[in-house]
Chains A and B, each alone.
Chain A
Amino acid sequence: MDAMPPVAASPPAAVFAGTRHPGLAAELRPARVRVEAPEVLHPALWLGHQLGRHTDQAVSSGFAALDAQLPGGGWPRRVLSELLLPHPGIGEIRLLGASLAAIQQAGRLVMMFDPPHALSGWALSQLGLEVAQLLVVHTRCKVVAGSDSLWALEQALKSGHVGAVVAWLPPRLRAERLRRLQLAAQAHDGPAFVFREMAAQQRPTAAPLRLALRAGGADTLQLRLLKRRGPPLDTPLQIALPPVLSASAHSRAEAAVRAEPAPSALQTATFINLAA
């Protein structure tokens, strides 16, 4: 993930300006002529208009267009990655599938916390995941004190032995609870994905990466990068997911969308008798 061209150009430009009047420059700065760019000094530093880098190697998401926009070139390790979903089942597992499969290939375990529905093992193995390397933990099945539902997730993050963590968080989670998870994630050598409801984007987050997911048509996912270590991204990303549909069915789906751009409002309108 290299910096964008204007960035690399800015510090040498300053040097160049100094060398235009060599005598003056020598008077002012006799010892130091070269100015180090901040991003060279320390890997944690970056300028506002460039993407941040991580000292840890990030896990590639498997989608080149997304990797290009993620700081570090992939899903970051040791921090939470927050994914906002309108409802489950828009392609979120297919988005993570390649990176989770790569982690399992390395012999590490993937843990899922509180998945919203039952998981289909065959579908996971079609995505390249190995069900033997997957643990599913349900924390909300019984009546427990409120702190318990995140306790298990925090333990898993803190232990540092899990390869990747995927968690579906309860709605309306308080910010300090998420901050606590973010602190626990520092010991976790791998990506940690937390799914939250769409309404959470109104509130601040402790996670350094936040994406909003929307279905963008058949086998397509629309991603908005709401927060990252780097400049904001205005245009949403269209990601072509591993296809479910055959090519002919896909073209049929697109044709149907063109033919029927939006369901007309009249069909779904409700009439209320105000006189009653």
Chain B
Amino acid sequence: MLWVALHLPLLSLESFATTLAPLGEEAGPAPIALVDAHHIVSANDSAQSLGVKSGLKRATALALAPHIVLGQADALRDLQAITAVAHAALAFTPSVTLEPAGDPQAAPHTVLLEVHSSLRYFGGKRPLLRRLQSQLRPLGHRVHCATAPTAQGAALLARLPEAPEGRHAVDLAALNRLLDAAPVWLLGPGREHWEALQGMGLHCLSDLQGLPRSGLARRFGEPLLAEIDRARGLQPDPRTWISLPDRFESRLELFARADTTEQVLHGAAILLARLVAWAGAQHAQVRRFTLHMQHEPRHRRDTATPADSTLEIALAEPSRDIAHLLVLLRERLARLQLAAPTLELRLSCADIARGAPPNGELFPTAKSEREGLIRLVERLQARLGHEQVQRLSLVEDHRPECATAVERAEASLRASRVARPPPPAGPRRPVWLLAEPELLHERQLRPLLEGQPLQLLCGPERIETGWWDAALAERDYFIAQAGDGALVWIYRARLPSAGQGWFLQGRFG
């Protein structure tokens, strides 16, 4: 058995920090601290540099750092954050559990993975840990990582505040050696007895080892000894594995309301990182996801403001690339006008494509080019709108305005390389067609273009069709030469209803 423990020492603080609006680049990280019962319980680096540390009173902290952001730990928020870490771990092994799991009072702060059976696939412990770290990076947590032959031992090593001898134990003997030096307050149930243990001169676990077992059990309870035994591998330690929900749903309550889409995007980026971790756990690609934004009503009986707005993003090609998903979301959000300030974000996804991810390629190939094109078209569509990216198709019709159909280009383009129709014979057609035929002035029955007479060169070519639909056309087409030598396509309408005279239809580009 090889257990990996991922301990998140600043979980509550980091999950609180995700709800804050981003500051400017030059401002640096804002000082943030968590308060419980008017006392600071944890503070981030920039708050600590200002002198704020845990145990201070709230008022003292405010005196030290007037701009400090104070928040409260939220068990539900922490649970969502650590669940994302567990999902990221599920991509490496199906045996993942949270620690402490059964205790309803204590929120989980450590994720345990049993990776012995995955070692061969990932090429050993070191590459596996490296990949695990890179998978966890988008979630933005500080992680202490430890490996040990027992679950409890790994969890204890990961919880060490600092580990001069490392957190990795290759076998039980090494684990016992590391545990002997560990302080007693690491043991969860023993923590309330910390002062009593301290008074008895017991600082580390090796001090407990020499004492009579029955006496220790009477004073500090059986669970303390049981935990040590499980950590040292003397007792079995069965665990229940977590399972993956079928549908991804994660929410983020913003600390301050978001007035701009940029602030919404900042919060949504965290949710997207969680979504990618969830999809990665089942080796699936996201095909479609939805962002719900819950709005704040302007006043109590505000019916004009919608309660929430929804942004649905469908991908042409399923993807798990967080950078790509973020770009799409950013472009869509940039076009969105927020109906009201946003209080809460919710990201949900149920539409995934299971299957192996595409192979990474060293050199560009036709496949990677197709994928890149699809992404390009998706990005253009997200920014400009679906109607602005078009493709043409040929229609069998003699009327020039009907002969070319313009349709929205689907992002999953170039599906069919249909047999090429032979280039149509017959008279040449101009590349440029005017949206509306332009009425030409005449002088002595000769059409004029920009004040100069047109020289008719070819024609007439009579097009008389369309009696079955409303757009009947009866025209005589000519190719004419303009004053500067360019060729144009003009016609004379033969129907009184279509207007009399010469019209400019197109130009030979």
Q: A152-B383, A161-B376, A245-B458 are in contact. Are A117 and B507 (CB under 8 A)?
A: yes
| Interface window among B347-355, B416-424, B466-474 | B416-424
Q: Does B373 contact A (CB under 8 A)?
A: yes
Partner of A125, one of B424, B452, B453: B424
How close is B503's CB to chain A, nearest CB, in angstroms? 15
Does B488 reach chain A (CB closer than 8 Å)? yes
> A120 and B400: CB pair below 8 A?
yes
Pairwise interchain contact B485-A218, C-beta atoms closer than 8 A: yes
How far apart sit A89 and B479, CA to CA, in the bound complex (Å)? 13
B364 — which chain A residues lie within 8 A by C-beta?
A: 160
User: Shortest Cβ distance from B265 into chain A, in angstroms?
Assistant: 17
- Say whether A128 contacts B423, CB under 8 Å: yes
Beta-carbon contacts under 8 Å, A105-127 to B: 107-109, 115-127
Smallest Cβ-Cβ distance to B450: which chain A residue: A87
- The segment from B17-25, B221-229, B384-392 that touches chain A is B384-392
CB distance from A85 to the nearest CB of B (A): 10
**A134/B457 in contact, CB under 8 A:** no
The CA-CA distance from A94 to B387 in the complex, in Å, is: 27
Residue of B370, B384, B404 with most partner-chain A CB within 10 A: B384
Known contacts being A86-B484, A91-B486, is A118 close to B366, with CB within 8 Å? no
- Report Cα–Cα, A97/B188, bound state, in Å: 76
For chain B, give the interface size range.
Answer: 35 or more
Q: List the A side residues contacting B486 at CB < 8 Å.
A: 87, 89-91, 215
Q: How far is the CA of A156 from the CA of B372 in the complex (A)?
A: 10
> Looking at the complex, which of B267-275, B313-321, B430-438 is the stretch in contact with chain A?
B430-438
B485: contacting residue among A134, A215, A249, CB under 8 A? A215
Within the assembled complex, what's the spacing in Å between the Cα atoms of A109 and B376?
12
Q: Which residues of B sit under 8 angstroms from A162, Cβ to Cβ? A: 373, 376
Give per-residue flags for A242-269: 1 if the beta carbon is below 8 A from chain B beta carbons, else 0. 0011100100110011001001000010
Contacts A125-B394, A151-B383, A162-B373 given; does A256 touch B420 at CB 8 Å: no
Interface contact B384-A137, CB-CB below 8 Å = yes
**Does B26 make an interface contact (CB < 8 A)?**
no
Q: Would B431 and A116 count as touching, CB distance under 8 A? A: no
Contact B429 A120 (CB under 8 A): yes
Instruction: Kindly provide the distance from the CB of B398 to the nearest chain A CB, expressed in whole angstroms.
Output: 10
In the complex, are the beta carbons of B458 and A121 less than 8 A apart? no
Q: When the two chains form their complex, are residues B484 and A141 in contact, meaning their CB atoms are under 8 A apart?
A: no
Residue from A118, A123, A160 whose CB has the most chain B CB atoms within 10 Å: A123
CB pair B457–A132 under 8 Å, yes or no, is no
CB-CB contacts of B400-414 with A at 8 A, as 1s and 0s? 100111100100011
- B-facing residues in A51-88 (Cβ within 8 Å): 86-88
Min C-beta distance of A57 to chain B, whole Å: 16
- B487 in contact (CB, < 8 A): yes
Q: Which residues of B contact A86 (CB under 8 A)?
A: 484
- Highest count of chain A CB atoms <10 Å: which of B376, B388, B418, B509: B509
When C-beta atoms are compared, the residue in chain A nearest to B404 turns out to be A121
CB neighbours (8 Å) of A218 from chain B are: 457, 481, 485, 487
Are B431 and A127 neighbours in the complex by a CB distance under 8 Å?
Answer: yes
- Tell me if A26 is interfacial: C-beta within 8 Å of chain B: no
- Per the bound structure, the CA–CA distance linking A94 and B486 in Å amounts to 12
Task: Tell me the residues in window 175-228 of chain B with beta carbons closer than 8 Å to chain A beta carbons.
Answer: none
The reply to whether A89 and B429 contact each other, CB–CB distance below 8 Å, is: no
Q: Among A87, A122, A137, A214, which residue has its beta carbon within 8 angstroms of that of B390?
A: A137
Residue of A nearest to B422 (CB): A125
Q: Is A120 within 8 A of B393, CB to CB?
A: no
- State the Cβ distance, A133 to closest chain B Cβ, in Å: 7
Interface: A19 (CB within 8 A): no
- A residues less than 8 Å from B414 (CB atoms): 109, 132-133
Tell me which of B405, B424, B457 contacts A126 (CB under 8 A).
B424
Q: Does A186 sit within 8 A of B, measured CB to CB? A: no
Chain A residues, CB < 8 A from B167: none
Contact yes or no, B391 A155, CB < 8 A: no
Q: Is B357 an interface residue (CB 8 A)?
A: no
A152 near B404: Cβ-Cβ < 8 Å? no
Q: A122-B404, A135-B390, A136-B390 are in contact. Are A159 and B373 (CB under 8 A)?
A: yes
Would A121 and B403 be within 8 Å (CB), given that A218-B487, A245-B458, A256-B455 are in contact?
Answer: yes
Does B51 reach chain A (CB closer than 8 Å)? Answer: no
Give the Cβ gap from B358 to chain A, nearest Cβ, in Å. Answer: 15
What is the minimal beta-carbon distance from A84 to any residue of chain B, in angstroms? Answer: 15
A233 CB-CB contact with B under 8 Å: no
- Do B431 and A124 touch (CB < 8 A)? yes
Contact B383 A148 (CB under 8 A): yes
> Does any Cβ of B come within 8 Å of A32's Cβ?
no
Return the chain A residue nearest B403 by Cβ.
A122
A18 at the interface (CB under 8 A from B): no
Contact B372 A160, beta carbon cutoff 8 Å: yes
B506 at interface by CB-CB < 8 Å: yes
- Say how far A174's CB is from chain B's closest CB, in angstroms: 21
Contact in complex: B431, A159 (CB < 8 Å): no
Contacting residue for B394 out of A122, A156, A245, A246, CB 8 A: A122
Q: Using a CB-CB cutoff of 8 Å, which residues 132-146 of chain A contact chain B? A: 132-139, 141-142
A120–B435 CB distance below 8 A: no
Q: Is the CB of A249 within 8 A of B458?
A: yes
Q: How far is the CA of A160 from the CA of B375 in the complex (A)?
A: 12
Instruction: Looking at the assembled complex, report how far the CB atom of B346 sits from the nearest CB atom of chain A, in whole angstroms.
Output: 29
Question: CB-CB contacts of A175-197 with B at 8 A, as 1s and 0s?
Answer: 00000000000000000000000
User: Closest CB-CB distance, A35 to chain B, in whole Å?
Assistant: 39
Point out the residues of chain B lying under 8 angstroms from A89, CB to CB. Answer: 430-432, 486, 488, 506-509
Given contacts A117-B433, A118-B433, A119-B432, contact A88 B509 (CB under 8 A): yes
Task: Kindly state whether residue B379 has any CB partner on chain A within 8 Å.
Answer: yes
- Write out the residue numbers on chain B whose beta carbons fall within 8 Å of the beta carbon of A92: 509
Is B380 in the interface zone, CB < 8 Å from A? yes
Is A39 on the interface with B (CB-CB < 8 A)?
no
Asked whether any CB of chain A lies closer than 8 Å to the CB of B126, the reply is no
Instruction: Flag whether A3 is at the interface (Cβ < 8 A).
Output: no
- Choose among B373, B392, B452 the residue that contacts A119 (Cβ–Cβ < 8 A): B392
* B485 & A122 in contact (Cβ 8 Å cutoff): no
Q: How far is the CA of A135 from the CA of B389 in the complex (A)?
A: 7
Q: Which chain B residue lies CB-closest to A116? A: B432
List residues of chain B with CB within 8 A of the CB of A230.
none
The contact sample of 13 A-B pairs, CB cut-off 8 A, is A90-B486, A120-B400, A120-B404, A124-B431, A128-B423, A132-B418, A152-B384, A159-B375, A215-B482, A245-B458, A253-B455, A256-B481, A260-B455
6 closest Cβ contacts across the A-B interface?
A89-B507, A161-B372, A215-B485, A93-B509, A121-B404, A123-B429
Known: A93-B431, A141-B388, A263-B452. 14 other contacts (CB 8 A): A91-B486, A107-B366, A109-B414, A118-B406, A118-B434, A122-B429, A134-B392, A148-B384, A214-B484, A244-B487, A249-B458, A249-B479, A256-B455, A256-B457
Question: Which B residues fall within an 8 A CB radius of A?
Answer: 364, 366, 369-370, 372-373, 375-377, 379-380, 383-385, 387-394, 400, 403-406, 409, 413-414, 416-418, 420-421, 423-424, 428-435, 451-453, 455, 457-458, 479, 481-488, 506-509
